[in-house]
Homo-oligomer: A and B are copies of this chain.
Amino acid sequence: MARLAANGRSKSPGQTKERIIKVAAEMFARKGYHATGVEELSTEVGLGRGALYYHITSKEDLLHEILSRPAEEMSAAVLALQKLDLPSEAKLRQFAQTLMRGISDNRAEWTVFFREFHGLTDHRLRAILELRNSFELALLGIINQGITRGDFRNSDPELLVKGILGMFNYSYLWIRADGRCTPEEIADLFCDALLRGIRAN
């Protein structure tokens, strides 16, 4: 794993903080949040413990920053998509592509999101759970709109949405930026299976 270059100190505080968040996300994803010590993290970043605490308030704060940024970006993208006037299937495909691209581009952060969110407490935990809920509601909106328009079968959309999200979200475990398919191609393959079924003919 890369460390701060010897000239790390000449970087702006903003750049250093970005670097801390990136390295922490990778360590938390690999070893777990609780198993990663601040000492270890500061060594990996190439800063002393004191210098590290100049940039972060607490380890939980750092966890919150790792989780909230990609989740807020995803939430904004999904919200924008909801407002578009698109055919039902196109909307489902765009939703899937947005999710898979986001998870692939920030795989460490999403791994931490899915595995370590319970390391947050109080309002921070509530905020993350609300963000997670917003993806589910957005997808439910797309499916329900498809049912209303007569494009999708009406078959327990609330449960179906949980299955579809699992299909995409679980990819944090196996998706690779250098894999043989792009995230968009994988999203399309899964949407094909969902839309027309895997049954022959």
Residues of A contacting B: mostly: helix
A56 at the interface (CB under 8 A from B): no
Q: How large is the interface on A (under 10, 10 to 19, 20 to 34, 35 or more residues)?
A: 35 or more
Copy number in the complex reads 2
**Chain B residue with Cβ nearest A186:** B159
Which B residues lie within 8 Å of A116 (CB)?
Answer: 32
A14 at the interface (CB under 8 A from B): no
Residues of A within 8 A of B (CB): 30-35, 89, 115-116, 118-119, 143, 146, 150-153, 155-156, 159-160, 162-171, 174, 181, 186, 189-190, 192-200
List 16 A-B pairs, Cβ < 8 Å. A34-B34, A34-B35, A115-B115, A143-B198, A150-B200, A153-B200, A155-B193, A155-B198, A156-B189, A162-B170, A163-B168, A166-B168, A170-B170, A194-B194, A195-B198, A197-B197
